[in-house]
Amino acid sequence: MLLGTALFERLRTGLRLTHAGQRFRQHARDIAASFEAAVKSVEADSELISGKVRLGMSWTLSSYFALPVIEQFARQHPKIEVQLVEEPRETLEKALVEGQLDLSLVLTSNLTRGIGLKSRTLHRSQRRLWTCLDHPLTKLKSVSLAHVAQHPYAVLRSDEAEKQGLAHWTDATGQPEIKLTSASIEAVRSLVASGQAVTILSDVVYRPWTLDGRRIEKTDLVETIPTMDVGIAWSAKRMLDPAAKLLRSTFEKSISRI
């Protein structure tokens, strides 16, 4: 930002604030002090909040998103109890609609529309091709679904990943030979790292190494693959109490930074 006046003057021994610079510094200090006071005021208010929040989550989100945030939240807000429920998406949606849950971490890209839920997407995770380190597909300048269809394929059966994973294939791309369908992400990782199969999964669950130390490569595809959208949902017909709002805000701040 241009201020239209100099804040410093250059001397042989260094820099010195001009009169305008001194006034600017004082205003900046006042602003910083006001901001700090505002933060402390909000923190003081949040410390007074107590209660119970019933939080639902699916397997993928509990493993990769929920638990670290809840641990932090529990330290900051010891008077708020968070009850955890891990269930499939349809069960979580029903519990939100019927008032059995306050909030739920969900894949917002999979949410059922028109059933009385509100949601906010907090993170969009790209889906990419996973292969072993020296797989033939890694030698290509660009990789399409048609290329992938020529190799054995592993499907992760979790949080509707199998539905999303098989939705990419059409008559034009061809259908891959399914080598394995498993609820274990580690089983899929091991099969891919050993070169026995490839897969397409989101960056959320990607790790470059298997448990036994073998490398997994990820590659962008020519086609645009829909992202895996992570967010939080609640009932449109019920007001969230202060404890639930505070937990929702914590997730919004934490997940959106990923």
Q: The domain 51-124+229-255 is classified under which CATH number: 3.40.190.10, 3.20.20.150, 3.50.50.60, 3.10.20.30? A: 3.40.190.10
For 183-206, what is each residue's pLDDT tens digit? 899 999 999 999 999 999 999 889
- Cβ atoms of 120 and 232 within 8 Å: the answer is yes
Pairing status of strand 153-156 against strand 103-107: unpaired
Say how far apart CA 88 and CA 185 lie, in whole Å.
Answer: 17
Predicted confidence at residue 167, as pLDDT, reads 82
Banded model confidence at residue 67, pLDDT cuts 50, 70, 90: confident
Please say whether the structural domain 127-226 has been given the CATH code 3.40.50.880: no
For 156-187, what is each residue's pLDDT tens digit? 988 777 777 778 888 899 999 999 999 899 99
Predicted confidence at residue 239, as pLDDT, reads 92
For 118-147, what is each residue's pLDDT tens digit? 999 999 999 999 999 999 999 999 999 999
The residue whose two tokens read 């910083």 is 32
Across the chain, where does the E strand assignment appear?
A: 8-11, 14-17, 51-57, 80-86, 103-107, 117-125, 127-132, 153-156, 178-182, 199-202, 216-219, 228-235
Q: What are the structural domain ranges in the chain?
A: 18-46, 51-124+229-255, 127-226
For 11-20, what is each residue's pLDDT tens digit? 666 667 677 7
Asked if residue 105 has pLDDT above 90, the reply is yes
Predicted confidence at residue 44, as pLDDT, reads 47
Beta bridge partners of 86: 57
Helix (H, G, I), strand (E, B) or coil at 81: strand
Predicted confidence at residue 142, as pLDDT, reads 95
